[in-house]
Amino acid sequence: MPDGQPQTQKPRTPRPQRQVFPQPAGHHLAQVNLARAVDDLDQPAMAEFMAALNKVNGIAERVPGFVWRQDDPVADAAAKAILADPRETYTLSVWETADALEFFAWNTVHRRFMNNRHKWFVPPDRAFLAMWWIPAGTTPDFAEAMERLKYLRAHGPSERAFGWKNLAGTRAWQSEGAPPIPA
């Protein structure tokens, strides 16, 4: 140093270690994700997405490791009442493992829809996905799923709710990159 004083370094704040929530024996992975459409679901801007929705859901149901998805009309009406926004869409599903969900999301036609989601959905400004482990043989309801997503938004990842980063192993979205968002 020019004035003869030793240089002192600020102590580094350690980066928080990534929390990993491994799959407990006898449990499956539940997940909920939300998206807000750029237009009403019956409008031309959403036509391509809506036309493919049943096909993509059918593919999900045939993927090894798929357990369940909410598709009951009464439960769907209750979920939409909770959302209170006709442009808000959701998926609530259960998978045997995170790998099964990841395979569906990144190795089927679903990936094409993820890569083009900017055409149909407003970019999220907060967490839109929550995952949690549930005992095998059980299914979540939408109100519980929303509480878990709200908890994740407010408190960050925990055993109550977490995201892809909190699962063991490298995930396709990390190596392949997140779907593009237009400039």
Q: In the predicted model, what is the mean pLDDT of residues 131-137?
A: 98
CB atoms under 10 Å from CB of 10, counted, come to 5
Q: Which domain holds residue 78?
A: 27-171
Read off the tokens for 158: 């925990």
| Residue 119 is assigned to a structural domain of this protein | yes
For residues 156 and 165, the answer to whether their CB atoms sit within 8 Å is no
Q: What is the CATH number of the domain that holds 47?
A: 3.30.70.100
| Residue 151 is assigned to a structural domain of this protein | yes
| Residue 1 is assigned to a structural domain of this protein | no
Render pLDDT for 150-159 as a digit per residue (tens, 0 to 9).
Answer: 999 999 999 9
| Residue 21 is assigned to a structural domain of this protein | no
Read off the tokens for 57: 């859901």
Please determine, for residue 113, whether its predicted confidence score (pLDDT) is greater than 90. no
pLDDT at 107: 86
Please determine, for residue 181, whether its predicted confidence score (pLDDT) is greater than 50. no
Q: What's the pTM value of the predicted model, to 2 decimals? A: 0.84
- Domain count along the chain: 1
